[in-house]
Amino acid sequence: MKILVAASEAFPFCKTGGLGDVVGALSQTFSRIDEHEVVLFLPRYRSAGQGAFSFKAVPGNFLIPVGGAIETASIAMVHWGKITVYFIENSKYFDRPGIYRSNFGDYEDNDERFVFFSRAVLEGAKFIGFKPDVIHCHDWQTAIIPAYLKTLYRIDSFYVKTAVVFTIHNIAYQGMFPKETLLKAGFTWVDFTPDRLEFYGGINFMKAGIVFSDAVTTVSPSYAEEIKLKAEFGRGLEGILKYRSADLYGIINGIDDEIWDPASDTVIRRGYDAKSFLKGKSSCKKSLQHECGLPENKDMPLAGVVSRLDVQKGLDLIAGIIPEFVDKIQFVILGSGDSSIAESFSALSKNFPACVFFKSGFDETLAHKIYAGSDVFLMPSRFEPCGLSQMIAMRYGSLPVVTRTGGLKDTVRYDGEPKDSNGFAIDAPTYTGMHSVLGHIVSLFKYRELWNAMVKNAMSGAYSWSKSAEEYLKLFAATIQKKSNL
C-alpha cells in the first residue's frame, strides 16, 4: 500500500502533545509492516528537527492559492527509517517561534497556515510523484484535505482512486473560523451548507474531515461512543458523527515502546523491567527526589504529573487537594500551558517546598525521570480521547490514577482487587473521588506485596503500536477496496 500521512506534528521533529507521539510512532510502524510505502508530510516550522536531522532540498517550487494571493511552497526532505518525511516550506507561515501559538495566544492566521499546508500536501505529492492509495489525515489542521479531494480535486485523475481516512485525536480543538475562511481556502458558497462546511455561520475544519472522509477514526473505542452520544463530549459535532457512525471507528493508541522503555532508557538513573523493578525504581525515585529538592523518603508515595496545563486534564482538582496530603504524598509536577494553573502549582511549591516540586515548561528529559521515579501518576481528566501518559506511566511501573472516561477507561483496570488491577480509577473528576482514592493509595502503599503486584500488572501490559497499526491497515485496505468498487 502507498500511504501518505499528513499532520501538523510528529515526534521527533515537532511535538506539542500526544498527536505528535502518535503520528511519529504510527507512521513508523506502518512502514515496518509488510513493506508498506509510507511518506509523511509536515510543515517546516523553525524548530522542526532542530539540527538533529539533515534536510535535503527538493529542487524547484510550486504555487498555492490562498484567498486572493498566490503563495510559494518548496519541499525539504529527510530520510527517517523507512519513511521519507517531506517538509513543506514557506517562511511567511512557518518560520516562527511557535507551532500554533505565541506567548500571546493562537496565531491569528492559523486558518491560512493550515489551508496553505493542506493544499500544499496535495500539490506536493504530485510534485514529488507519489500517488497515494490512501491519505491519512490527523486532527483539524489537515481535516480539509478530505474536503479538497471531494470538491476541487474531485475530477483530478491523480487522486481519483485515493481513499482518505481522518483521525480525530481531540474533538475539543476543531479549527473554527469565520465564513471568510471558506473563500481563503478556495471553496465556493455552494459548499457553505450545514451538511457540508457550514457550522454556526462559520467554517469548521474538523467537521469537514468528518463529512468528507471515506472513514473516520478516533483514538479509543470509548471516546468513539462518547463523542457520538453525548453533547458535552461531541462539542456540537455529535449529530454529524451519529450520521457517519457506520464509518466511525475507535482504535486505541499505542506508545513507542523503544522510546518509552525503562530497560533501555538512557536518561533515567537505573534501568529496570517488569521482572525485576524494585532496585531500579527505587534508585530512580531517589534520584528524582534529589533533583527536585525533596527529602529522600522511600516510604512516602511520590505522585507524578507530566501534562499540558489545561482544564481538560483535571489539574485544578490536584492543586485543590495537595494541601490535604502534603505530609503523606510527595508531588512532582511538570507542565506547560494555562498560566493560572501554573501559578497555582508554583504557589503550592513555594508553600510546601518539602513535598511539592513544580516545573513550568516542556522538558522531555524530566518527563522520563518522572515516569520512572514516581509511584503513581495523576491524570484525572474530564475527558480523554485516549491518553498516552497513563500508558507510559504503566510501562514505567507508575500506577495511573485516572477518571473512567475515553481511553483511560479502555486502558486502566481498577477492580477493587489490587492483584487484578493496573492502576486506580474514579468515576468522575470530583474532589471527593480524588480524596478517597489518594487516601486509599496512602494506605495501600504500606502493603508492598500488593503494591508490587499492581506494578507488575501495569508493567506487563501490551502498549505497543503493532496491534493497533494492523487495525488501521485493515481499515485502509477495506476503504481503498470500497472506493474502487464505486
Q: Which residues bind ligand ADP (CB under 6 A)?
A: 17-19, 21, 306-308, 334-336, 362-364, 367, 387-389, 392
Are 238 and 228 within 8 A, CB to CB?
yes
CB 306 within 8 A of CB 335: yes
CB nearer to ligand ADP: give 247 or 384. Answer: 384
149 vs 306 by CB, closer to ligand ADP: 306
Q: Specify whether the CB–CB gap between 166 and 143 falls below 8 A.
A: yes
Residue with C-alpha cell 515548561?
Answer: 361
Q: Closer to ligand ADP at the Cβ: 18 or 209?
A: 18
Least distance in angstroms from the C-beta of 27 to ligand ADP: 16
The smaller minimum CB distance to ligand ADP, of residues 42 and 64, is found at 42
CB closer to ligand ADP out of 84 and 141: 141
Q: Which is nearer to ligand ADP, 90 or 222 (CB)?
A: 222
Distance CA 320, CA 309 (A): 15
Q: Establish how many alpha carbons lie within 13 A of residue 88's alpha carbon, considering only the half-sphere containing its beta carbon.
A: 32
The minimum distance between CB 418 and ligand ADP, in angstroms, equals 24
What's the CA gap between 364 and 351, in Å, rounded? Answer: 26
Cell of 145: 484535505
CB of 281 to ligand ADP, least distance (A): 18
Nearest to 356 by CA among 348, 347, 366: 348
Q: Minimum CB separation from ligand ADP for residue 424, in Å?
A: 17
Spell 334-359 as b/e; 16+ CB within 10 A means b.
bbbbbeebbebbbebbeebeebbbbb
In terms of CB distance, is 22 or 203 closer to ligand ADP? 22
Q: How far apart are CA 463 and CA 470, in angstroms?
A: 14
Closest separation in Å from C-beta 335 to ligand ADP: 5
CB 407, min distance to ligand ADP, A: 8
Smallest gap from residue 382 Cβ to ligand ADP (A): 12
Minimum Å gap between C-beta 173 and ligand ADP is 10
* Distance of closest approach, residue 238 Cβ to ligand ADP, in angstroms: 20
In the complex, the smallest distance separating the C-beta of residue 215 from ligand ADP, rounded to whole angstroms, is: 22
In the bound state with ligand ADP, the residue whose beta carbon lies nearer, of 132 and 337, is 337
The residue whose Cβ lies closest to ligand ADP is: 18
Rank residues 118 and 389 by Cβ distance to ligand ADP and give the closer one. Answer: 389
17 vs 423, which CB is nearer to ligand ADP? 17
Provide the minimum distance between the beta carbon of 11 and ligand ADP in the complex, in angstroms, as a whole number: 8
Q: Is 145 exposed, middle or buried, given 0-12, 13-18 or 19+ CB atoms closer than 10 A?
A: buried
Closer Cβ to ligand ADP, 108 or 232, answer by number: 232
* Sign of the C-alpha dihedral computed for residues 152, 40, 65 and 208 taken in this order: positive
